[in-house]
Structure formats: structure tokens, C-alpha cells
Amino acid sequence: MTTLGLPDAIRACLFDMDGVLTQTATVHAAAWKETFDAFLRRRDGAGFRPFDAVTDYDEYVDGMPRADGVRSFLASRGIHLPEGDDDDPPERETVHGLGNRKNTLVLQKIKEMGVRAYPGSVRYAEAARAAGLHRAVVSSSANCHDVLVAAGIDRLFEVRIDGVVAAEQHLPGKPRPDTFLAAAHALGVPPSQAAVFEDALAGMEAGRAGKFGFVVGVNRAGQAEALRRHGADVVVDDLAELLEEAS
């Protein structure tokens, strides 16, 4: 193992953003809850069963592109909505309308609350840069660039594969490995020499499906065993633990 707690063959680090680099996963969960609860109240009335910002978030939407998250959660409730169009207004009850409502809420919450990076993740990314490893951010968020800039960490990464790039290149989102594979390709590194850092179960599955050299599960939601079952080689509560273990 290297001083970064990685196998010697690893030459690149591919980081998810929300929940791994930045403390924005809770903001996303709150925005999903507000979006789905309003929709479900209108639809189900007295039989309303709220969106759970922990279990439903982890199981159905975490790490996925917005439209996929809408479809995934609604399918769990036996609900099917028309797809609609990418530019549907937030009040329209379509897959894209609900997704756009969630995005509006996320942007409002980020503007109100700001964005903070995890100090241990910043330390780790800086150590990876100092060690000469390539670094990429892989996120389903279309707001990835703005969030990284707001957190003051955008310059730590050479490549960004986010929701905008995925749409332009027609890359399916996690749990498919395509966005991670695109990041490794952009860095000039084969998957076997790249490590994936993820907090979402969908991200674990993407790391396993892409046959990456190492998959690190970041346990922000008390789901260490689930992360292992879904493909993590190692699970930590904070990336700084890898530096401490290797020292």
C-alpha cells in the first residue's frame, strides 16, 4: 500500500462530490424530501407516506442523475409519470418537472447555506496531488462546477465529469460505470489503475462494474456493511483515515 492507503498500482483517484468531497449530500436529501413530499401530499391526501431522507434517499436517489432518481423513487411507490421535457417548469408533474423542482430547491439551499468541503477529503486530495496521482471529480450533478468553486476546491482536480458532460456525451449515470470510465480515460489511466471514492451505494456498484483497481466507500450515513456488500474494498468514515493508516 502507498502512503495514501491505496494499492501500489493506483495512478489516479476518481472522487464523487456530494458526500465525499463536499458536505452537500444532506442538502440534496432535504431538497428531494421537500419535492417528493409536496407531490405525494397532493396525490395521496390522507394516505400520504413521506419520503424518508435517509433510507429512501440512500436506496433510490443518492448518486443518480436527477431524472433517474425521480423514476427510481416513484417506481418504489408504484407511481409512473410522463417523462416531460428537460425544460419543464418545476410545478409540472412530470419526471423532468419534479427533477427541476428539486434542482431549484438545491440551488436555493446552497445559496442560503453555502458549501463546505470535508477537511479530511481536502487533505487527502492535496496529498494525492503531492504524490503525483491524477485526480478527477465524477458527479451526476449539473451544478458540480459551481459547487466546487463555492467550496474553494475546484483547482485540486484535473478532470470533471459531471451531469453536464454526461448529457453532452450521452453517458448513463451510476450505477453504470460509464462516467467513472470516462474520467479514467480523460486522465489517460486504465480502470485497473484508478481508485473510486464514493459514499453512495450506486457509486459502489459503478466501481465494481467498471473493474476499477480499488473502491473506497465513504461511510457518511451509517451504512458501512451495505457499502461493502455493494463493492467497497475498504470503508472509512473520513478519507483522512487512509492517510493515518498509511503513516
**Residue 87 falls in the annotated catalytic set:** no
> Which of these is catalytic: 16, 68, 88, 178?
16
- Measure CA of the first residue to CA of the last residue in the chain; give whole Å: 11
| Under 8 Å between Cβ of 140 and 169 | no
Cα–Cα distance for residue pair 130/28, rounded to 1 Å? 31
Of 29, 88, 31, the residue nearest 54 (C-alpha): 29
Cα–Cα distance for residue pair 30/225, rounded to 1 Å? 24
CA dihedral 75, 79, 82, 87 (to 10 degrees): -70
> Which of these is catalytic: 8, 18, 52, 88?
18
Environment class of 87 (CB within 10 Å of its CB; exposed 0-12, middle 13-18, buried 19+): exposed
**Residue 16 falls in the annotated catalytic set:** yes
Residues annotated as catalytic are 16, 18
